[in-house]
């Protein structure tokens, strides 16, 4: 679901960025108002969950792959506004450091995975279990259904963004300038995987970690704020297990390189892709030169998780100092 650069026109990317900016602005304001400063630091752990979850690629017959996102999980732990920012920062790190997802398409990816997914998932989960926290079994069922709905809503949003490209942007010969597949292809292609295995992966990831956190990690749900041993062990296990994601061969639908797209059925490489924006990340495709793929993948997972945790700890410290300053001034 990570839309690379040049699959969407610059105009589409601008519109999607403009659409998600209000969500970021409101989310930051809501976090400052309702989330205790000590919980802001926990957003880093939540973002690490999302980052690591997206590294576990799931294969689908036909050669495509997909993954969980964890947006509903974070929304149910810290609220949808915290999820919006946490997933957005995780996506930004993936784009800048690992080349996973585009730079100019960052707004579109954030709209789909950091806005649509967590807010839809959270709303549906709370609609199914309105007395959240009173019945854990009901809550887990609601979380599973909400996460399934959330990731499929995000997939549909991405499919529409892909599918409108050949309708709106063509060269003088009538060929698509960007994504060459219309809605009649993009929607079935995206939804087939997400309605089945990828949606199931999101449900399992959400329910399993939510159940674990409720039982063993009061950092999210109680007064305790320091990351405890069980949570550290969970993060370490996820980091060490990420090479499982390398077992899924093939490229996710809509994430092919310019050297691959002509062979997918398009028959040509759109000019907008050939001559579009180009960005070289520091650790492309989560691989480090001279190291085995599996080891580079683990190191990338550790680096990404650590950066996210550090960033949000710094943010939490800043928010905490600001709160103390405001109380002192009052």
Stronger pLDDT, 251 or 330, i.e. the higher one:
251
Q: What is the mean pLDDT of residues 26-32?
A: 94
C-alpha span between 76 and 218 (Å, rounded): 14
* Model pLDDT, residue 206: 97
Is 329 a residue whose pLDDT tops 70? Answer: no
Q: What is the mean pLDDT of residues 27-52?
A: 91
Residue 35: band (very low, low, confident or very high) from pLDDT cuts 50, 70, 90: confident
Is 31 a residue whose pLDDT tops 90? Answer: yes
Q: What is the mean pLDDT of residues 241-264?
A: 85
Domains of the chain: residue spans and CATH: 10-329 (1.10.1760.20)
**Residue 329 has which token pair?**
């001034």
Is 326 a residue whose pLDDT tops 60? Answer: no
Please, are residues 53 and 90 in contact by the beta-carbon 8 Å criterion? no
Beta strand ranges found along the chain (DSSP E): 58-60, 64-66
- pTM beyond 0.75, yes or no: yes
Is 137 a residue whose pLDDT tops 70? Answer: yes
pLDDT tens per residue across span 258-269:
888 888 878 889
pLDDT tens per residue across span 264-318:
878 889 999 998 898 999 999 999 999 999 999 999 999 999 999 999 999 888 8
Write out the DSSP string of 22-86: HHHHHHHHHHHHHS-HHHHTHHHHHHHHHHHHTTS-EEETTTEEE----HHHHHHHH-HHHHHHH
Comparing CA positions, the residue from 35, 116, 113, 132 lying closest to residue 78 is 35
Q: What is the mean pLDDT of residues 230-250?
A: 91
Q: What does the mean pLDDT of the chain come to?
A: 91
* Model pLDDT, residue 248: 83
* Model pLDDT, residue 1: 84
């Amino acid at each position: 679901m990570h839309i690379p650069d040049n699959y969407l026109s610059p105009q589409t990317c601008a519109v999607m960025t403009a659409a998600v900016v209000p969500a970021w602005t409101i989310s930051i304001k809501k976090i400052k108002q309702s989330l205790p400063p000590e919980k802001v630091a926990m957003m880093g752990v939540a973002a690490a969950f999302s980052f690591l979850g997206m590294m576990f690629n799931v294969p689908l017959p036909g050669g495509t792959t997909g993954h969980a996102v964890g947006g509903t999980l974070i929304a149910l732990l810290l609220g949808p506004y915290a999820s919006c920012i946490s997933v957005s920062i995780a996506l930004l790190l993936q784009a800048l450091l690992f080349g996973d997802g585009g730079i100019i398409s960052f707004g579109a990816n954030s709209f789909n995975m950091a806005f649509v997914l967590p807010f839809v998932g959270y709303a549906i989960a709370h609609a199914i279990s309105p007395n959240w926290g009173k019945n854990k079994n009901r809550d887990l069922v609601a979380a599973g259904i909400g996460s399934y709905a959330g990731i499929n809503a995000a997939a549909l949003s991405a499919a529409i963004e892909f599918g409108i490209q050949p309708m709106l942007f063509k060269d003088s010969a009538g060929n698509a300038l960007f994504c060459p597949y219309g809605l009649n292809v993009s929607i079935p292609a995206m939804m087939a995987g997400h309605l089945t295995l990828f949606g199931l992966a999101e449900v399992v990831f959400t329910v399993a970690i939510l159940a674990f956190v409720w039982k063993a990690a009061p950092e999210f749900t109680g007064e305790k704020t320091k990351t405890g041993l069980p949570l550290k062990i969970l993060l370490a296990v996820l980091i060490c297990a990420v090479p499982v994601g390398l077992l899924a061969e093939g490229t996710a639908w809509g994430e092919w390189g310019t050297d691959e797209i002509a062979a997918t059925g398009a028959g040509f490489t759109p000019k907008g892709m050939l001559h579009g924006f180009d960005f070289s990340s520091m650790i492309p495709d989560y691989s480090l030169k001279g190291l085995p793929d599996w080891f580079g993948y683990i190191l990338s997972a550790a680096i990404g998780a650590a950066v996210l945790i550090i960033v949000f700890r710094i943010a939490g410290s800043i928010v905490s100092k600001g709160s103390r300053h405001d109380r002192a001034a009052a």
